[in-house]
Amino acid sequence: MSIELVGITVLWIFLYGYLIVASIDFGAGFFSYYGRITGKGEIINAVINRYLSPVWEVTNVFLIFFIVGMVGFFPDTAYYYGTALLVPGSIALILLAIRGSFYAFHQYGQKKSHVSHFLYGATGLLIPASLATILTISEGGFIVKQGDQVHLLMDRLFASPYSWSVVFLALVSVLFISASFLTYYAHKAEDREAEELLRIWALFWSFPTIFASFLVFVSLRNHNLDHFNAMLDHSWLFTLSLACFLLAVGLILRRKSYGLAFVLVMLQFASAFFGYGKSHLPYLLYPYVTIHSGVTNPVMGKALIWSFIGGLCLLVPSLYLLLRLFLFDAKYVKGK
Amino acid sequence: MLDTFMQSRMLTGLTLGFHIIFATIGVGVPVMILIAEWMGLRRNDPHYTLLARRWARGFTVTVAVGVVTGTCIGLQLSLLWPSFMQVAGQVISLPLFLETFAFFFEAIFLGIYLYTWDRFQNRLYHWLLLIPVVIGSSASAFFITTVNAFMNTPQGFTLENGVITSIEPLQAMFNPATPTKVAHVLSSAYLTSAFILAAITAWSILRGKRGDYYRKALRLTVAWSFVFAVATAVIGDLSGKFLAEYQPEKLAAAEWHFVTERNADLIIGGVLDPVTHEVKGGLVIPGALSFLAHSDFNAEVKGLNEFPQDLWPPLYVHYFFDLMVGIGVYLTIVSLLFLVIRRWRPQHEWNPWLLRLIVLGGLLAMLAIEFGWVFTEIGRQPWILRGYMRTAHGVTTASNVDKMLLLFSLLYLVLGIVCSYVLVRMFRKNPPELEMQQRGIPHR
């Protein structure tokens, strides 16, 4: 495999990792606030906090990792995306900053303030929407280059049905992923009430998720026909995704093996995400940047890959320890 | 009206200036927690353990702000300086990448540490969890500082017509500025954190808090402040020698040294006439600059006149340099004074004036960090990559930076206020006395 292919694969895996852990986190924030205003907060908050408290910091790192790696492997993306995304990128940053810090203020502060809870919950929905927009932009048609200048066509982005369908998909899948994970976690905690509530939420959000997926598929056809056709070439991955989805919903519906159901949800998103990514190649930004045009120097590419392997040797055992202590430790999960 | 270039510099400066407060705490406080918990283990003294516990709790809140502002600067590099990142990104991506690994490592173990206080039978295991936290935070400071060092003394690549070739990643990372910069950043972060913790303790005592808990806290933090202050001073001296050799224009601007000469004078304070370059007032120490630069009173020190005027750093960096060094001296003297009084005049250990000096020191230490960074960053202007790329050539071509500057200023203002409010409230609502009572720790 060439360096650029290794690079983008590694980065895509990390983005997928972010998609899962951040979805759980963002959705949990929203559910937690929703629970507070509907008076069901007491039921689910204990479960949510017990999971989130030790891991919230780790979530952010996945995203930073992806961005730093992207600039390292493909310096051209820094130029194009960097110039074009000044405004939307800054807004996403501000949302992330508000969310991260207000989570800590809320969690560790003495007073459980309504405002900080609201900010933490609301940004949980706004951030996925704003980050999903960047994926939309990579499809091309929203960034133009005139001489030295790179412009983002905001009005076109706002008018695009494709862009809105991606935002819609991001929102509902965050809630679906999060609810299906928390159902499993509540089940392990033997918290029947929370489990039942979250189970209903998972089922509720499953319909819009699959509907939005089809919507994205269809609207991509109008927006970028080449990519749409490339996706058809990998249609087996999307079929697999649908199968995993149906199995997962089936299990949740019949109150069986929530753990397996969540693994299936992860597989559902993995196959769709990698199918989407693979068919997007070789473009990183259609049609300006491909993985070949802006690739880094081969020496640096190799150094990055080696440091990546070294880093993983350190990370995987530590992450395993984290999961062992907080996710798979029966006593901790049950709050003892 | 400011142009995009100035606005971008201001926004970058603002983000870094705000981030550095939390980054410094993030690097230094884990070391102090490590020391306190270790003392608790060794002496089997619950006061030290409680100290570690309370510091760790406050630390979590500052870490959150550090993480989010760190994310901001990480992305702003590409958003505000895309042309710079397109070129330099290829050479600095290795340390940037490694920094995220170090940060990842720290984040994982900090999460574990905070939630396992009463989980292990053998408390040593809990203490051991802190070691990866300290390694992670100091390593991320190390890696990110090598990036900054690279921008000051770039090497490990060839630039031909804007295209970078023959990259040697390790050579770029271990450039001439790396050793002194990294050492200075680490020691000053430890010093500042220790002094801030000392200042908080001194403040509590001034407000009438008494007892063994406070006595131990103050002694521990001030003693370590002194150790770190001496280390910082020694390393600071080495940094001066580094500047004389590799960035003589920065040292010359810092010292208003225009004519190359032997036995060069060191000027402290003073006012510069912008036209004649004459210095009015100020304390002049004959030959001291030569000694600072080369450990020899008769050594030759390069003057600013050797450089074309459009490559001069702004001359006001002199004030920032003096303020930084001045505060460093103050911190060393005050911590030494406390140790001397404690040893020979123990009845004056809690003299209110001494405590006030310590409180002031905590504030000044953080200011010194800011001044030092302003000096080092403004001191390498007009370069973004010294000798290769001017700052003006790295800036974004996008408009709207002014609105982003406003938005981020607001964000940092809100974060700063809420964070302070939460921290103060957190410790006021749950004072050590209450916690000692709850945990059955004898007080006094």
Residues A41-97 pLDDT 10s: 667 777 777 777 777 777 877 888 888 888 888 888 888 887 878 888 888 889 888
pTM greater than 0.90 (yes/no): no
- Report the gap between the CA of A129 and the closest CA in chain B (Å): 18
CA angle B392, B393, B397 (to 5 degrees): 90
Residue A94: its chain B contacts at CB < 8 A? 407-408, 411
Suggest the residue from A101, A143, A150, A299 to mutate for an interface test with chain B (most B CBs closer than 10 A). Answer: A101
- Report the gap between the CA of B23 and the closest CA in chain A (Å): 14
Amino acid at A144: V
Q: Does B307 touch chain A (CB under 8 A)?
A: no
Cβ neighbours, 10 Å, residue B340: 10
CA distance B405 to B13: 10
Cβ neighbours, 10 Å, residue A170: 24
pLDDT of residue A110: 67
Residues A289, A291, A296, A297, Cα dihedral to 10°: -120
| Residue in B68, B164, B396 nearest the CB of A100 | B68
- Report the gap between the CA of B194 and the closest CA in chain A (Å): 23
Suggest the residue from A55, A105, A148, A296 to mutate for an interface test with chain B (most B CBs closer than 10 A). Answer: A105
Query: For residue B20, what are its two tokens?
Result: 């550095």
Decide if B71 and A90 are in contact by the 8 Å CB cutoff: no
Residue A67: its chain B contacts at CB < 8 A? 74-75, 78
Decide if B400 and A86 are in contact by the 8 Å CB cutoff: yes
Q: Does A6 touch chain B (CB under 8 A)?
A: no
Closest residue on chain B to A50 (Cα): B115
CA distance B126 to B119: 8
Angle between helices A114-137 and A86-108 (to 10 degrees): 150
Closest residue on chain B to A324 (Cα): B112
pLDDT of residue A312: 77
Residue B395 DSSP code = S
Angle between helices B212-246 and B317-344 (to 10 degrees): 140
Decide if B108 and A73 are in contact by the 8 Å CB cutoff: no
- Report the gap between the CA of B431 and the closest CA in chain A (Å): 12
Decide if A109 and B419 are in contact by the 8 Å CB cutoff: no
Residues in chain A: 336
Decide if A71 and B85 are in contact by the 8 Å CB cutoff: yes
Task: Give the CA radius of gyration of chain A.
Answer: 20
Residue A98: its chain B contacts at CB < 8 A? 411
Q: Does B353 touch chain A (CB under 8 A)?
A: no
Closest residue on chain B to A69 (Cα): B97
Element (H, E) at A289: strand A289-290
Closest residue on chain A to B422 (Cα): A109
| Residue in B65, B68, B407 nearest the CB of A90 | B407
Query: For residue A152, what are its two tokens?
Result: 């983002």
Identify the band that residue A111 occupies on the pLDDT scale cut at 50, 70 and 90.
low
| Residue in B86, B108, B415 nearest the CB of A97 | B415
CA distance A185 to A47: 7
> Buried (b) or exposed (e) across A93-126, using 16+ Cβ within 10 A?
bbbbbbbbbbbbbbbbbeeeeeebbebbbbbbbb
CA distance B342 to B344: 6
Residue B18: its chain A contacts at CB < 8 A? none
* Residue B17, helix vs strand vs coil: helix
CA distance B405 to A187: 47
- CB contacts under 8 A, A 128-147 vs B, are none
Q: Does A111 touch chain B (CB under 8 A)?
A: yes
Q: Smallest Cα–Cα separation from B339: which of B232, B223, B225, B190?
A: B223
Per-residue confidence in pLDDT tens, chain B, 444 aa: 578 888 889 999 999 999 999 999 999 999 999 999 999 999 988 899 999 999 998 998 898 899 889 889 988 888 888 888 888 888 888 898 888 888 888 888 888 888 888 888 888 888 999 999 999 999 999 999 999 999 888 888 887 776 777 788 888 889 898 999 999 999 999 999 999 999 999 999 998 888 888 999 999 999 999 999 999 999 988 888 888 888 888 888 888 888 888 887 888 887 877 777 777 877 878 777 887 878 787 888 888 888 888 888 888 888 898 899 999 999 999 999 999 988 898 888 888 898 999 999 999 999 999 999 999 999 888 888 777 777 777 777 777 888 889 999 999 999 999 899 989 888 888 888 888 888 888 876
pLDDT of residue B441: 83
Q: Which residues pair with B158 in a beta bridge?
A: B165
What's the whole-number mean pLDDT along residues A135-155? Answer: 75
Query: For residue A302, what are its two tokens?
Result: 């190799």
- Report the gap between the CA of A233 and the closest CA in chain B (Å): 34
| Residue in A58, A79, A84 nearest the CB of B107 | A58
B245 to each of B239, B248, B267, B286, B386, how far by Cα in Å?
10, 6, 20, 21, 14
CA angle B10, B16, B22 (to 5 degrees): 145
Decide if B430 and A110 are in contact by the 8 Å CB cutoff: yes
Suggest the residue from B71, B119, B157 to mutate for an interface test with chain A (most A CBs closer than 10 A). Answer: B71
Q: Smallest Cα–Cα separation from A175: which of A196, A197, A198, A205?
A: A205
Q: Is B143 in contact with B95 (CB distance < 8 Å)? A: yes
Q: Is A85 in contact with A49 (CB distance < 8 Å)? A: no
Suggest the residue from A6, A61, A63, A309 to mutate for an interface test with chain B (most B CBs closer than 10 A). Answer: A61
Q: Is the pLDDT of residue A207 over 60?
A: yes
| Residue in A57, A79, A300 nearest the CB of B86 | A79
CA distance A80 to B397: 11
B145 to each of A73, A312, B95, B98, how far by Cα in Å?
21, 23, 9, 12
Query: For residue B158, what are its two tokens?
Result: 């060839």
Closest residue on chain B to A104 (Cα): B61
Write down the residue that tokens 């706002």 correspond to: A158
Identify the band that residue A125 occupies on the pLDDT scale cut at 50, 70 and 90.
confident
Identify the band that residue A294 occupies on the pLDDT scale cut at 50, 70 and 90.
low
Q: Smallest Cα–Cα separation from B167: which of B179, B157, B177?
A: B157
Decide if A108 and B57 are in contact by the 8 Å CB cutoff: yes
Q: Does A93 touch chain B (CB under 8 A)?
A: yes
Cβ neighbours, 10 Å, residue B288: 17
| Residue in A65, A76, A97 nearest the CB of B86 | A76
Decide if B104 and A87 are in contact by the 8 Å CB cutoff: no
- E-strand ranges in B305-425 read 383-385, 389-390
| Residue in A78, A97, A299 nearest the CB of B82 | A78
- Report the gap between the CA of A91 and the closest CA in chain B (Å): 8
- Chain-centroid distance of CA A279 in Å reads 19
Residue B69: its chain A contacts at CB < 8 A? 97
Query: For residue B335, what are its two tokens?
Result: 């911590």
pLDDT of residue A295: 66
CA distance A128 to B385: 35
Write down the residue that tokens 């009430």 correspond to: A193
- CB contacts under 8 A, B 161-220 vs A, are 164-165, 167-170
CA distance B382 to B359: 37
| Residue in B69, B93, B99 nearest the CB of A71 | B93
Q: Does B94 touch chain A (CB under 8 A)?
A: yes
CA distance A59 to A36: 24
Residue A326: its chain B contacts at CB < 8 A? 111-112, 115
Cβ neighbours, 10 Å, residue B376: 25
Q: Does B281 touch chain A (CB under 8 A)?
A: no
Spell out the alpha helix ranges (H) of B44-153.
46-80, 82-114, 123-128, 130-152
pLDDT of residue B336: 94
Q: Is the pLDDT of residue A235 over 90?
A: no
The answer to whether ipTM exceeds 0.90 is no
Closest residue on chain B to A318 (Cα): B108
